[in-house]
Amino acid sequence: MRLVTSLLYVSRMTLEPEEVAGGIAAIVEVARSRNADLGISGALVATDAHFAQILEGRRDAVFDVMASIERDRRHTEVTVVWTEDREQAFFSDWSMAYAGTAEYVDKKISPLLRGSLPEHERQGVISELLLLIQCFVREEE
Ligand X SMILES: Cc1cc2nc3c(=O)[nH]c(=O)nc-3n(C[C@H](O)[C@H](O)[C@H](O)COP(=O)(O)O)c2cc1C
- Enumerate binding residues for ligand X (CB under 6 A): 27, 30-31, 34-35, 42, 44, 51, 53, 55, 65, 68-69, 72, 74-75, 96
Least distance CB 85 / ligand X (angstroms):
19
Least distance CB 133 / ligand X (angstroms):
13
Least distance CB 120 / ligand X (angstroms):
28
H/E stretch holding 55: strand 50-57
Q: Which is nearer to ligand X, 38 or 124 (CB)?
A: 38
Residue 48 CB partners (closer than 8 Å, separation 6+):
13, 20, 101, 103, 106
Q: Which is nearer to ligand X, 28 or 126 (CB)?
A: 28
Measured between alpha carbons, how far is 100 from 48 in angstroms, rounded to an integer? Answer: 10
- φ, ψ of residue 10 in degrees (nearest 5): -125, 155
Q: Which is nearer to ligand X, 72 or 121 (CB)?
A: 72
